[in-house]
Amino acid sequence: MQMRWLSNAMKTRTQLISYRSYATTTHFSIHARDKDSRWSGIDMTRPSDEADVVIVGGGPSGLAAACRLRQLSRKYGVNLRVVVLEKASQIGGHILSGACIEPGALTELIPDWRDRGAPLHTPVKSDAFYVLTRNSKIRVPLIPGLPMRNHGNYIVRLGNLVRWLGEQAEDLGAEVYSGVAASEVREFSLNLLKVIFDGNRIIGVGTNDMGIHKDGSPKQSFERGMEFKTRQVLFAEGCRGSLTKGVLRHFDLAHSCEQQTYGIGFKELWQVHETKWNPGKVEHGIGWPLGNHVYGGFFVYHINEDSPLVAVGMVMGLDYKNPYLNPFREFQRLKHHPHFADLLTGGKRIAYGARTVNEGGLQSVPRLTVPGGLLIGCSAGFLNVPKIKGVHNAIRSGRIAAEAVFESLKSSTKDESIEVTAYTDALKSSPVWKELSQVRNIRPSFHATRIGMAGVMMYTGSLWYALRGREPWTFSHGCKCVFLSLSD
């Protein structure tokens, strides 16, 4: 009999590897350099630089924060040096195109985005929601007010939007460095014997080393990564970022919230036959092949570009019970459904990818600030799960964080790293918190109602629609152990 969870011994080994991984700089093997003779004589001194704010991650939240910090710097004549570190070779390089976003947060950040040429070319013209059976589909009416409704939204190539945000940040004076991964968080302890909330603060980040062989030995071209000392680090790495995980663990930021739950999303960008292309068309749905006992669904976005592009994808929760279920295989099965086969036949897949998504919602938002750092965007878990949307909350949280950080840095000394608690207060009075609060019970209703996706649909269409998030109760995600089953 096999068990889907790791044994305690394997857990311990996995944790040890996780703890040590940020101290090594090879993509393939883990080697303790102080015990490796191949590294003897190598100068491990890091070049050092200083910045007022370092943002780890060049996605929507990080670039929104950079833009807002520089906007405020110009407005008030305070010259803050803002540095953005992005691991991809170019801004937007790790973001697969095809998303449906709400433009309100972008308007708050850059009111004249239309005049500046923001790549929002495809307003949503039609919106549909389906329940798939094995060979057919049932259309479900989208009543105004339901979270799945997309009236007023835009279909975008998200990589293009992120690149445009990077250009805006640089025009405002931010320094955006791509191809640079932050590999370490530099911490300074005032007193190691005190609790970490009392004694520790982040004073910077170290970037990854260059010039290392696959076997972990240094090349002739080895270069030690830089160290950026800073007054504030904004973690904008997205879901399960490597530095974010280390900060969460070190400062025990999740001690007062529920455990985060996750899903996996697959997305493919297709060039389809022009007769099947309907720019501005949005489709979402649930059902086959996942069935009633796996939380998840699909999306189809028709993008208005020079060529007939369609983004298709599936998102499914990782709390499924069947240990033999293969998420990628389920996505491939979905494309063989008549509804998808008709669209994709004769087309060509030109890009594909996958990523994890936060599904914990409000119940799983951790403590957001530490001395010298804070979490924004999907690093904090601001995805609206029923909408399958997080870009607008990422941009908005980045803007709110930037405003709180700017006010704090204006009144602090040059070498002081402080905890910007005003960020949490501002966030809790913002549309981000209100939105997460409104939909907090929809995802956990999958387990709370005990009847799977049927329970989610009934809860959303009845109690949620009547109360709009004002329920006097909050469902728990429960213990992960109740989601696991034994396999024969």
Q: Which residue, 330, 365, 324, 320, is CA-closest to 480?
A: 320
Report the candidate in 473, 474, 243, 281 with the shortest Cα–Cα distance to residue 372.
243
| Residue 168 confidence (pLDDT) | 97
Using 50, 70 and 90 to split pLDDT, how confident is the model at 273? very high
1-31+42-119+157-259+360-440 placed in CATH 3.50.50.60: yes
**So what's the pLDDT on residue 460?**
87
Altogether, the residues listed in the chain come to a count of: 488
SS3 389: strand
Say if residue 226's pLDDT is above 70: yes
Q: Which residue has the higher pLDDT, 486 or 291?
A: 291
Query: pLDDT tens, 404-439?
Result: 999 999 877 666 678 999 999 999 999 999 999 999
Q: Where are the domains of the chain?
A: 1-31+42-119+157-259+360-440, 126-155+261-359+441-488
pTM of the model: 0.88
1-31+42-119+157-259+360-440 shares its CATH topology with 126-155+261-359+441-488: no
- Please state the rounded mean pLDDT for residues 112-123: 94
| Mean pLDDT score, 8-36 | 51
Of 179-183, 247-251, 304-308, the least confident: 179-183
Tell me the torsion sign for CA atoms 211, 215, 217, 219.
Answer: negative
pLDDT score for 179: 85
Tell me which of 1.50.10.10, 3.40.50.150, 3.30.9.90, 3.40.50.1240 is the CATH number of domain 126-155+261-359+441-488.
3.30.9.90
- Residue 473 has which token pair? 């109760």
User: What pLDDT shows up at residue 21?
Assistant: 42
Question: Can you read off the two tokens belonging to residue 105?
Answer: 């947060």
> 270 versus 17: which is more confidently predicted?
270
pLDDT (0 to 100) of residue 82: 96
pLDDT (0 to 100) of residue 44 = 82
Q: Is the pLDDT of residue 11 over 60?
A: no
Q: How far, in Å, CA of 446 to CA of 454, rounded?
A: 8
pLDDT of residue 216: 83
